Amino acid sequence: MRWVVTAVVAFLFCSCKSVPKPPIDVRGKRLLVLPFAYKGYHFGQHPLGAELARLVCGVVAARVKGVVLCDAEPFAEMFSGKASDKVDWRRLAFAANADFVLAAKIHDFRDRNPLDVNLYQGVMQVEAWVYDREGRRRITRLVDARYPYRHPDFAAATVFGLSRDEVVRKTKERAAVLIARLLYTPNKGEE
């Protein structure tokens, strides 16, 4: 009898599919995404940071049901030009009526290795933080996005049909997806 109970318990634990949960679940919550900082620039000072924040908002809006994205523009004076340790996260979340605030800093972004000639490989390294409405940092994650396809550029004709602009675009999109995964569980077929 004991072995039957053990077999049933083992079957129940082993046969159930477990769905991994995202580190921060924002379904049905309000999220504020700040324009990201970039190297020596602070929040809202560099167009690359604003572009990547918009891409992350697009991924979150498309993949998370019921999330409400708050507009960061009305609260720009609270974060623009400031480093992350100078922002009052609690006050910002309260003013925006946000449950969570996503902020990030782009540490590195390049479209090629400095030692390679005419070979493209996009690399973006981003440190992302999620704060709750109490101003507590809930998670810190270092995201390393790469667009690994490498090819030589011969006389403006690109092998494999990839241009420098496409490598840059795909690297940004990959970084946005990896950052957004802090807030949703990826589908099984999603890379």
Structure token pair of residue 172? 């940004």
Question: Between helices 164-180 and 47-63, what is the axis angle to 10°?
Answer: 60
User: Rounded distance, CA 125 to CA 145, Å?
Assistant: 6
Domain for residue 83, yes or no?
yes
pTM: 0.79
CATH of residue 140:
3.40.50.10610
Instruction: Tell me what pLDDT residue 90 has.
Output: 95
In a domain, 46, yes or no: yes
Domain assignment present for residue 120? The answer is yes
With respect to residue 153, please indicate whether it lies within any of the assigned structural domains: yes
Decide if 86 is inside a domain. yes
d(CA 32, CA 160) in angstroms, rounded, equals: 39
Task: Indicate the number of domains in the chain.
Answer: 1
Residue 116 in tokens: 């390679």
Q: Can you give the pLDDT at residue 157?
A: 43
17-41 in b/e form (b: 16+ CB < 10 A) is eeeeebebebeebbbbbbbbbbeeb
pLDDT for position 13: 55
Residue 101 placed within a domain: yes
pLDDT means per 10 residues, the chain with 191 residues, are 60 53 84 94 93 95 92 91 91 94 94 67 92 93 79 46 80 93 80 61
Which residues span the domain enclosing 142? 20-180
pLDDT confidence of residue 148 = 65
Q: Which residues is 126 bridged to in the sheet?
A: 106, 143
Task: Classify the phi-psi angles of 122: left when phi > 0, otherwise alpha if psi is within -120 to 50, otherwise beta.
Answer: beta
Q: What's the count of helices (H) and strands (E) in the chain, helices before strands?
A: 5, 8
Biggest CA-to-CA distance, the chain: 76
Does some domain include residue 49? yes
Structural domain includes residue 3: no
The set of residues, in sequence order, having a beta carbon less than 8 Å from that of 129 and lying 6+ positions away, is 84, 102, 103, 104, 137, 139, 140, 141
Task: Give the position of tokens 């946005």.
Answer: 176
